[in-house]
Copies of this chain bind each other. A is one copy, B any other.
Amino acid sequence: MTTILTNAIVVTMDDALAVHEFGWVRVDGTTITALGAGRPPDVPGAEIVDCAGDIVMPGMVNAHCHMAMSVFRGLGEDVDDRLYRYILPLERKFVSPEMVRAGSALSALEMIQGGVTTVADMYYFETEVGDVCAEAGLRAIVGQTLADFDPPDHRNFDEGFGRVEELVDRYKDHPLVTPSIAPHAPYSTGRDVMARIAQWSADHPQVPVQMHLAESTLEVKWALDTHGKSTVTVTAESGLLKPNLICAHCLQLDDNDIRLMSEHQVCVVTNPRSNGKAGRGIAPVEKMRNAGLPAGIGSDGAMSGNTLDLFSQFAPVSMFAKLLAGSRKPLPAVDVIRMATIEGARALSLNLKTGSLEVGKQADLIRINLSAPRLHPMYDPYSALVFAAMPSDVTDTMVAGRWLMRNGQVQTLDVGKAVSDAVGIAAQFKSEMARIDGQ
């Protein structure tokens, strides 16, 4: 099956940053087999998609998410102690395979609509997340979380490892879904268990590791009080800092931490809206990138960042870099789009498969309609994508040659069911919150 997208502004995000005006992309099966500008090849029987001057670009990489948590979206907004007051009690009471499936389906839907084609997730009952992504057709890294705070799906780390093994067995050979192990954070795993995970990881080099790192001042205090060192140093000593480690948040870092992370070639993900909304601080994204760390952009869970597209993160990630430097210059728009595509893919070690439009790569791409007046005039497509485009401009989403959304219609999920399942769970949460508030 051959599909040729024609008459598009093809933003490739290849090394040369080639942009083909009046461009075309040829897809055979799951793979990009040719692309260029001008007259597309004449392939008998091919489906021709006239993109009418729209942008075609790589699908975006949401490099840190908790998909199941969309059922918490906006819950306890602005409440300082909402984690302990509402969220942990609700998680203990309600997190189940069914809830994880419902929240993940709503999130998959939103991401497909918003132009995300690859997501890195970590939560509980993660086989369910893998199942939802596989059905929805999303490329995904699904990470089983391990933590010591009586999480919903394991009573101790041995049980947690059992969940990880189950996940790896299920998805080790899947074309779209990659299993992952996800120590929650240094303070909620502890140095010894981190060392155990590092050992397990050495035996499973194909399994990426995901972890929250240096997210809060409380974590910094834990590391200092417990080990007299920075949280990054403690993590390094555990053996976890390796090229297959994906570190989310990365807020509370000093230059020595960044040097350590760079020496061990870890990958990082910034979650600007989540961090900003929590008042937690601004990640030193330019410092990390200048130290050679591949940096992706994540939405975090919808409880923290509310929306799961990357457009919502673009202005924040850009403004934060410019505010840190006191100048308009840092992190130019093209670098934001890099982070959202090829650099995000590199941070997830998926850059040989996705993140740019190049021959031989998987056909993970999106089409962006340019009819909105706010997108004009357009002096530079990267600026328009970063500062004016919105998820509602995405009309088509393809992963591995399969249309997940076509002309604004999601093909692989039932929109009505996804929304109503999530609303049903939220009704239970609201009752429980009323009970908590009435205590």
Contact = CB atoms under 8 A, between A and B. Distances in A.
A383 B74 contact: yes
Contact of A78 (B332, B372, B376, B415): B332
Contacts of A426: 376-379
Contact of A376 (B75, B374, B422): B422
Nearest to A279: B322
Interface string A226-248: 00000000000000000000000
A74 B273 contact: no
A76 B377 CA distance: 13
Interface in A253-306: 273, 276-282, 302, 306
B376 A315 contact: no
A82 B373 contact: no
B327 A80 contact: yes
A325 interface: yes
Interface string A305-322: 011110010011011101
26 contacts: A73-B376, A74-B378, A74-B380, A74-B383, A77-B380, A78-B329, A106-B376, A110-B374, A113-B372, A113-B373, A276-B319, A276-B320, A277-B315, A277-B328, A277-B387, A278-B322, A278-B328, A280-B326, A281-B326, A282-B323, A302-B374, A307-B388, A374-B391, A377-B426, A379-B430, A390-B391
A109 B373 contact: yes
Contacts of A418: 373
B277 A319 contact: yes
A16 interface: no
Nearest to A392: B392
**How many protomers of this protein does the assembly include?**
2
Contacts of A193: none
A423 interface: yes
B322 A374 contact: no
A110 B325 contact: no
A330 to B, nearest CB: 8
Dominant secondary structure of chain A at its interface with chain B = helix
A1 interface: no
A34 interface: no
B322 A384 contact: no
Given A315-B312, A318-B277, A74 B328 contact: no
A113 B328 CA distance: 29
A19 interface: no
A146 interface: no
Nearest to A103: B377
B392 A423 contact: no
A77 B387 contact: yes
A374 B74 contact: no
A307 B373 CA distance: 10
Contacts of A114: 374
B279 A323 contact: yes
A309 B390 CA distance: 12
Contacts of A282: 323
Contacts of A425: 377
Contacts of A329: 78-80, 279
Given A76-B379, A279-B326, A315-B316, 4 more contacts: A74-B388, A276-B320, A277-B328, A377-B425
Contacts of A119: none
A388 B390 CA distance: 12
Nearest to A312: B315
Nearest to A109: B373
A348 interface: no
The 9 closest A-B pairs by CB, nearest first: A276-B319, A377-B426, A392-B392, A279-B322, A306-B387, A74-B383, A78-B332, A77-B383, A279-B327
A276 B323 contact: yes
A132 interface: no
A333 interface: yes
Contact of A308 (B78, B80, B374): B374
